[in-house]
Structure 1
Amino acid sequence: MAKQKTARDLALEVLLRVERTKSYANLLLSPALAKSTLSERDRALATELVYGTVRTWGTLDWVLQERSRMPLDKLEPSVRMILRLGAYQLLYTRIPPSAACFEAVEQAKKASHAGSVRFVNAVLRRLSRERTQLKFPDISADPVGHISLKYSHPEWLVRRWLERLGLEETVALCQANNLVPPLCLRVNTTLIQRAELVAHMENRGFTVDAHHIVPEALYLRGAGAVEKLPGYEEGLFTVQDESSMLAAYALAPKAGERVLDVCAGPGGKTTHLAELMKDKGEIWALDIHPHKLALISKSATRLRLGCIKVQEGDGRKLPVEFQEAFGKVLVDAPCSGTGVLRRRADLRWHKTPEELVTLPKLQLEILTSAARAVVAGGVLVYSTCSLEPEENLEVVNAFLASRPDFRLADMGPSLENIIQESTLRQGFLQLYPHKHKVDGFFLARLERHEEGTAHG
């Protein structure tokens, strides 16, 4: 009878596939856990090991290379990954060092030959002895190297943030990106009030924490699988970060209005718009990816929302019938995602500086196209989950230069009751994880002049 797979075995398999296929960890871990027979405790351990290892990948490789007589890239992939897993446990968890080293050696026995077993044992035993005396580059002489290695972020991104935010804020941002974010739920106010859902959860043994910004948000501790939470199937809530909830508030739709959500998948903002409209009116959800449209429809059904219509289409080329057909339009543009690094553990290692050249062109194309759907006197909201100016205010300013019939509009009436930021009156908002305790997010509210005409 085959020996049952352990949490570490599952983590190793997923991590090897992440490295081999360059896939995102969450896309590989979720199906692996679904097929496993691990206990809840071991599922939690496997999840921690996978996400923790990919989050700290850069630092782990540096620490291991300092203690290895062989270049890491010359090692067998399985041996290299076993070392990373062991190093993560030694440096970032409360797992006893003896257990971390023992389990790594046991994995090496199954994955490679006796020489590799001795090598893994020697490297990790040395790291176990030296783990409290790691020497990072001096922060004064090499701030980029220090922050990059101590807080495990790519150097190019650290360099950008240092230039724009300074040393103290860059360190705080990187630290915030390394914290595991809490599970944030958005109450479906068409079905239940926040106080009722809080009581519903607390009566079933969950700890509920208060929102930071948005009144219909709540945080749940020790939740486990979202789909198994009480009230999920009944549509009482959906998972969404508070920062993303602000997009619907900025657009401020009213019951009975006609709204367009461009780049709508997977539907978090679309369904929030419907809830704010009390499910009265008409929301068109446009997306280029059919599988995302399917997710929107599935979410709308679960949340008991009937005002959402989905349509496949490219945001850069709106259907003719959408021209000047909507009073409210939301563009949540594809972006680098530098505001959600805490939520996407390995995203930092997939991003490149080149994206900040190519993405703004796409974002401007989509924003310019979406603007053609806005009626005179209507509102256009542009949002991203990026911290980078090239994707945010610079895109908005480039758009305004080509569309003088639009202008940045005061967001105070829509948002100042829930968040206080000096730029609201100027028509835009930038949120940071280390400042606001939510995902990084950018918002701009644009209004089309009554006297303006649509551009072809």
Structure 2
Amino acid sequence: MTNPFYDPYQILVKVYGAGAHLKIALAETPVEELHRTRTVKTVYGVLENDSYLSLCLKSVAPKSPKQTMRIVMKIALYWLIFLQKPKYMVTDTAVELLKKLGKGGAAGFANAALRAFDAAKVAIPAGDEGLAVTTPYPLFAIKKLRAEYGDRTESIVRAKSKGVTVRFARGEEDYLNRPHIATPFRGVYIFENFARDAAFFAGDYTFQSVGSVAICGVVEPCGRMLDACAAPGGKSVLLADKCKRVTACELHAHRVALIESYLSRMGKHNVTALQKDSSAFDPAFENAFDGVLCDVPCSGFGTVCENPDLPLLKKEEDLAGLFRTQLAILENCSRYVAEDGALYYSTCSLFSEENDGVVGAFLEKHPEFRAELPESPLSHEKKRYGIQFLPDEAFGAGFYVAKMRRV
């Protein structure tokens, strides 16, 4: 049997070392199928608790170890603290893996450090600094959330993923004998574990976030719909059920290919995928659509439950240019909305400057649009222009959507 730390290590070295996105690293790394659930649990667990595990590691290794040792030790500490595995077993497994990786010289240190580790001696700071240690959110994000949501901040950052969200096109009755959580949306359920089978490739179901489904739920049925930032294609597929024709645009060719693959698998023939920059005007699109959805690039902090690697990839300075990009896409795509048509703006952000801030700036310059506050069966907060969903009450998802009417 493969060393149980080996597969998680192979994935985490891509995330920590190469900056790979977790889901891509998971998809591209061959793992022992028999233990896939254990591997995924370990990888997510290490990333969700990265700051705390770093603090624990520092308690037994004041000088930060090199990458291989650091990753193996974080896996070991996760198993020791959160999975409550016996110390001797965890230590032996870590030592064995280090030797296998050609780091036998470090095995003695790992052995001594793990045997000496005592979680009770790890001091967690008070206040928001402590939240930044015990949750995946960095301190700058916690401070921004505190300024907007006050005492609710701790509930938001401690929210956990509820599992795998599956949207069924048909055949759901074959799966509902498994433990699951129902959502307010037809055919959408959350399972603790869900491995794809032949029905996935037949288009009977797909994996789609609650946020994506809720955003599509706000969109009204129409004849001509534009999904301006469409990859990987889940929203376009769902919109195709309520709109006669959907045009799905993406900036990069490989992401257009993702959309086309999604459409093919789900058997949707009323969607056209195009490579297009949604911030650059196309005269052929002017006034051409009854509905336009701008699900714009954003900080993504509403998806931390789903993407615990995101805080490793985001810095506070990364947020500075987002407002301009988001407003540019909204400004440009507003020119594609026909009279009496609807313009939708959405993000997976928790921060008001990316949400109501962008919509407010747009409406100030565009009196030809008026805000219409959306409705949703999923718990949300009403803002001035749109509605905000928060992870502690929306199955671990955080996102925003606004609706504007061209008059």
Give the TM-score normalised by the residue count of structure 2: 0.94
Amino acid at match of 1:249: G
Match in the other structure for 2:360: 397
Q: Indicate the larger mover: 267-276 or 76-85.
A: 76-85
Match in the other structure for 2:46: 53
Change (3 A) 1:441 1:422: closer
Distance 1:22 1:292 in 2: 19
SS across alignment from 1:283: strand
Q: How does 1:272-421 map to 2 (within 5 A)?
A: 272-277=238-243, 281-412=244-375, 415=376, 418-419=377-378, 421=380
Q: What is the alpha-carbon root mean square deviation over aligned residues?
A: 2.0
Match in the other structure for 2:115: 125
Change (3 A) 1:152 1:187: closer
Amino acid at match of 1:185: V
Matched, 1:19 2:16: yes
Deviation at 1:150, TM superposition (A): 2.1
Q: Is the 8 A contact 2:331 2:362 kept in 1?
A: yes
Change (3 A) 1:99 1:332: same
Distance 1:267 1:83 in 2: 38
Distance 1:314 1:175 in 2: 37
Match in the other structure for 2:132: 148
Q: Is the 8 A contact 1:60 1:88 kept in 2?
A: yes
Match in the other structure for 2:382: 423
Change (3 A) 1:71 1:318: same
Q: Is the 8 A contact 2:172 2:187 kept in 1?
A: no
Distance 1:367 1:103 in 2: 52
Deviation at 1:322, TM superposition (A): 0.3
Q: Is the 8 A contact 2:163 2:190 kept in 1?
A: yes
Deviation at 1:86, TM superposition (A): 0.9
Deviation at 1:65, TM superposition (A): 0.8
Deviation readout 1:332-361 (Å, 9 max, x if unpaired): 001111000010121012111122210110
Match in the other structure for 2:91: 101
Residue of structure 2 aligned with 1:157, choices 132, 136, 141: 141
Q: Is the 8 A contact 1:79 1:111 kept in 2?
A: no
Q: How does 1:119-268 map to 2 (within 5 A)?
A: 119-127=109-117, 130-132=118-120, 134-137=122-125, 139=126, 143-166=127-150, 168-176=151-159, 179-188=160-169, 192=170, 197-202=171-176, 206-211=178-183, 213-224=184-195, 226=196, 228=197, 230-254=198-222, 257-268=223-234
Amino acid at match of 2:114: L
Amino acid at match of 1:219: I
Deviation at 1:28, TM superposition (A): 1.7
Q: Is the 8 A contact 1:387 1:430 kept in 2?
A: yes
Deviation readout 1:224-251 (Å, 9 max, x if unpaired): 2x2x2x5212212221122211222212
Q: Indicate the larger mover: 55-64 or 341-350.
A: 55-64
Distance 1:158 1:430 in 2: 17
Deviation at 1:133, TM superposition (A): 5.1
Q: Is the 8 A contact 1:105 1:121 kept in 2?
A: yes
Q: Is the 8 A contact 2:145 2:350 kept in 1?
A: no
Change (3 A) 1:290 1:58: same
Match in the other structure for 2:236: 270
**Which one has a bigger Cα radius of gyration?**
1
Q: Indicate the larger mover: 281-290 or 42-51.
A: 42-51
Give the TM-score normalised by the residue count of structure 1: 0.84
Distance 2:337 2:318 in 1: 29
Q: Is the 8 A contact 1:206 1:223 kept in 2?
A: no
Q: Is the 8 A contact 1:59 1:152 kept in 2?
A: no
Deviation at 1:422, TM superposition (A): 6.2
Distance 1:28 1:410 in 2: 39
Deviation at 1:441, TM superposition (A): 0.7
Match in the other structure for 2:27: 30
Deviation at 1:53, TM superposition (A): 1.5
SS across alignment from 2:116: helix
Distance 1:22 1:423 in 2: 36
Matched, 1:62 2:50: no
Match in the other structure for 1:83: 73
SS across alignment from 2:175: helix
Deviation at 1:315, TM superposition (A): 0.3
Distance 1:405 1:183 in 2: 41
